[in-house]
Structure 1
Amino acid sequence: MIKQLRGKEIPLVKFIWGGATPESATWELEENMKAAYPFLFTSGNFEDEIFKRRGDL
């Protein structure tokens, strides 16, 4: 998601922390999450990486 803020574009990613409930999901700065969890962004396709880790691919 790209958030527009006073003429700036801020890239955000939605992270689900430990559960599938809406309360466990937060929007985080993409650059912070890339620094903390680089393995999630290595393939270039974020959804593919999630499915690989869950065993869906």
Structure 2
Amino acid sequence: MKTENMPTSQNTESSTQHTSKEALNKETATEFGLGIALGIITIILIAATAYFGLIS
């Protein structure tokens, strides 16, 4: 039986699969801002439709 030789260095995986901390923080901040904006727009749309009587 043959076994695959796996690299023993833990740095190999982290350097190839993960982005830098700065890029990750920027991406997370962008996603957070977009999520907040979409949430506020949704709340405004629900409030407007309720105000105009489209929702009982």
Question: Is the structural similarity TM-score above 0.5?
Answer: no
Q: Which has the higher strand share?
A: 1
Name which one, 1 or 2, has greater alpha-carbon Rg: 2
Q: TM tier, shorter chain?
A: under 0.3
User: TM-score scaled to structure 1, two decimals?
Assistant: 0.24
Q: Which has the higher contact order (CA 8 A, sep 6+)?
A: 1
